[in-house]
Amino acid sequence: AQKITQTQPGMFVQEKEAVTLDCTYDTSDPSYGLFWYKQPSSGEMIFLIYQGSYDQQNATEGRYSLNFQKARKSANLVISASQLGDSAMYFCAMRDTGRRALTFGSGTRLQVQP
C-alpha cells in the first residue's frame, strides 16, 4: 500500500533564505510519480512540481526544486529565496500503478518571517 510521510508539522524560515520540506514515501511499485502542492490560507490547492520515478535528474520549477533520493525513498521540496507569500501548507503526494488518485501526506505548515 502507498504511504506518504511528512514529519515536520511546522517550519519557520527567514525571508530570502532557503528551506527544505521533508517527504518520504513507501511503495513497492517501480513506476510512480511524486507531486508537491501548496495550500495557502485561502484553501486552494496549487500544483508546484512533479518527479517521476524514472527521471534521471531532479525536477526544478523556478524557485522550487525536488531533492529526489530514490534509494532512501525521499522527495524533499527545496524552496530557494523564501518570500512572505510562500507561507502556506505544503503537501507531498504520490501516484503509482495501483491507484490513479494521489495519496497525500499530512502536510507541513511553512511560515516565512520578515
Partner 1 sequence: GAGVSQSPSNKVTEKGKDVELRCDPISGHTALYWYRQSLGQGLEFLIYFQGNSAPDKSGLPSDRFSAERTGGSVSTLTIQRTQQEDSAVYLCASSLSPPRTTKGSYNSPLHFGNGTRLTVT
Interface with partner 1 by CB under 8 A: which residues?
Answer: 30-33, 35, 43-45, 47, 50, 52-55, 91, 93, 95-97, 99-107
State the nearest-atom distance from the C-beta of 63 to partner 1, in Å: 18
Strands (E), the chain: 3-5, 10-14, 19-21, 24-26, 32-39, 46-52, 60-61, 64-69, 74-79, 88-96, 99-104, 108-113
- State in angstroms the smallest separation of the CB of 16 from partner 1: 28
Shorter beta-carbon distance to partner 1: residue 25 or 35: 35
Cα distances (angstroms) measured from residue 81 to each of 11, 13, 16, 86, 89: 15, 10, 4, 10, 17
Residue number with CB closer to partner 1 (15 or 44):
44
Nearer CB in complex with partner 1: 63/99: 99
